Structure 1
Amino acid sequence: MLTLLSPAKDLNMDPVTGVKGATKPELLADAEVLHGKLKGMSAKQLAKLMHINPKLAELNHDRYQEWAPPFTARNSKTAIH
């Protein structure tokens, strides 16, 4: 399987109203493997790997440090609603 990872420049983490339920991501096990590799990288390494500027690399580095299952309404957001 080929996975394409695009570093987001802006994330809207405001709560979504009207969501009646959530499901577990189908590729969570794959995401956890990928996360394990990315979390161990420095912002400089991420910038080189993703071809992004240092500021965006630092932002994504911070996101990888904070990413942690189990996902709740406080630390995640629905992808489709």
Structure 2
Amino acid sequence: MSDEDLRELKRQIVDQIKHQTRWLRRAPMLIGVLGGGLALLGFWQASGSLITLDALCGVTGFAAQAVLWYGLHDEDKP
């Protein structure tokens, strides 16, 4: 195989992996949004324990998404 063929094969494999893992990469953001929404529900019902638990869930989800985003962002650098 030539060098150009190897580059094309690598590009195809990377594209396939990105396509198959797109929902996995978005899961922490969905957890964060769900936690934030439930925290607002707890605030509306004036339930301190619900607010605390769901705010923690939201912060954890958003933090995991940030770590994942920065990790994937640096992956493309040579």
TM bucket, shorter chain: 0.3 to 0.5
Instruction: Tell me which structure has the larger Cα radius of gyration.
Output: 2
Report 1 or 2 for greater relative contact order, CA contacts < 8 Å, sequence distance ≥ 6.
1
Give the structure with the larger helix fraction: 2
Q: TM-score, normalised by structure 2?
A: 0.33
